[in-house]
Amino acid sequence: MFESISKFGVTRRAFDNKICALYTSNPRDFTNDPYKRVDDKAFGGGPGMVMKVEPLELAIKEATSQQKTHGVVAPLRIYLSPQGKVVNQQLVNELALHDGLIFVCGRYEGVDERFIERNIDLELSIGDFVVSGGELPAMLLIDSIMRQLPGVLNDKESAVQDSFMNNLLDYPHYTLPREYNGTNVPDVLLSGNHRQIELWRLQMSLWRTYQRRPDLLQSKNMTKIESGLLKEMIEKHS
Ligand code: 9WO
């Protein structure tokens, strides 16, 4: 599964340029029974199986020593689960400052709680929904974190990233053809007036955020220009 981020796109470029490295450890390689069991029935009964402590602990120990060989003394150990703190861009930016991260990806109904208590620094969720395992949430998080590492995005890509990261939703985008099925591209985008285009894009970001994610605006200190642009849109639509 993890090859999908090491073999394509921006993340592949980062790995190829050795900006960061990705290693995987499989708990099944650390089992000591003939059936290589990583899970067992839940005490107390109920549906689903629970991942055993020991294979996970041996796997995280191997991952920790792997990081030590690269000079990472104390990697931050993250467990992905619906019970974790929901991730946002600010937390992604903070995680990108760590020398090394270990992502523990559960399966089945979850992992033995004693493993989490003994080995996990941070339990994280990517949203209030359940998927089949922690791998896809981990890859999503790794992608978002890697985009914050110096040298991963080129100037154009990071400009887009920065504009989106000012706690506003993105503005609408258009490309050829100019006219499609009777619908046109907004005139301002064809004007060549870069200042007007910049203001229009900011106003669209503010208006979209106001309409779709007013919660984001709560935590944003708007400038006089931003407040004026939003006020103009609210009055226009009221
Ligand atoms: C499976 C299951 C089966 C029967 C009854 C209850 C059950 N709960 C689960 C379950 O929550 N499985 C999780 C699968 C256990 C931890 C790893 N898995 C997971 C992680 N699903 N969704 C996530 C996840 C991680 C981060 N952000 C959002 C979701």
pLDDT digits (tens, 9 = 90+) for 114-154: 999 999 999 999 999 999 999 999 999 999 999 999 999 98
Instruction: Name the residue range of residue 75's domain.
Output: 3-146
Half-sphere exposure of 53 (CA within 13 A, CB side): 9
Residue pLDDT, tens place only, 68-96: 999 999 999 999 999 999 999 999 999 99
Give yes or no: residues 142 and 178 share one domain: no
Ligand 1 nearest-atom number relative to CA 110: 15
Asked whether 141 lines ligand 1 (CB < 6 A), one says no
Domain count, the chain: 2
Residue 159: band (very low, low, confident or very high) from pLDDT cuts 50, 70, 90: low
Per DSSP, the three-state class of 213 is coil
Q: Which residues pair with 191 in a beta bridge?
A: none
What's the distance, Cα to Cα, between the start and end of the chain in Å?
Answer: 49
At position 232, the amino acid (one-letter code) is E
DSSP assignment letter at 96: T
Q: What is the Cα–Cα distance from 209 to 97, expressed in whole angstroms?
A: 28
Atom of ligand 1 nearest to the CA of 126: 27
Verify that 119 and 14 share a domain, yes or no. yes
Q: From residue 160, how far is each of 112, 141, 200 by CA, in Å?
A: 42, 19, 16
Residue 155 within a domain: no
Last residue of a domain, one of 90, 117, 146: 146
Query: Does the residue 157 lie in any domain?
Result: no
Q: What is the pLDDT of residue 77?
A: 98
Pocket probe mutation, ligand 1, options 81, 88, 95, 140, max atoms within 8 Å of Cβ: 81
SS3 49: strand
Same domain (yes/no): 167, 142: no
